[in-house]
Amino acid sequence: MNLYTLKKKFDFIPESLYKNLDKKVRDKLLLFRTKSHHLNQKTMKIENLKKKIDKEKELLKEMKSDYTDLFNQIQHLRKDFYFTCSIVSYKNKYGKVYNNLLICRTGLPNKSVGLGNEDKIKERLLEHYKGKRKIIGEIKKDWKGFLKMECNGGDTYNIILDMIMKNPMGFNEQKGGITISIDDLFPIK
């Protein structure tokens, strides 16, 4: 049975009869009416909160729509400037192993930067980071791992991003595009 029906069952008692009831019964009826009032208050509060939640959901829906619209307006930044780097090793026809830094941008040809053989790369990195003991330790331990991290989020990443931002369309051009060397990325001071 719902609360409204329960309340109605005792609304028939007028004030004049209420005063004539036994004290225990009158107290219980008063307690019943008090609880009924509190239940109504709580029910109304919950209904108001539900309305507020519905309004907040509507606001959230509008915020998501605005967010998506803004995302679409700036999506070109990912296409124009987002890149990842990897280290690629290859053997030449004489059996010597060389390494390139491969700069990859979605929908564009990869940009390859010749780094040289392992000894040349390590020597260049150690000279570039001279005086930075922690970095030198990382290079000696795992130069490829260090280089991947550096080119995907360190100072070298910022150097490459700056080059792309200066010429986003010409950066990946095969002919006439930007030429990058190990000297540009890790200059000797």
pLDDT digits (tens, 9 = 90+) for 80-126: 889 999 999 999 888 899 999 999 998 888 899 999 999 999 999 99
* Cα 150 from Cα 147, distance rounded (Å): 5
pLDDT at site 138? 94
What would the mean pLDDT of 119-139 be, rounded to a whole number?
94
Indicate whether 154 pLDDT > 80: yes
How high is the pLDDT of residue 21? 77
Mean pLDDT value across residues 27-47: 88
Q: What is the pLDDT of residues 1-15, one digit of tens each?
A: 455 555 555 666 777
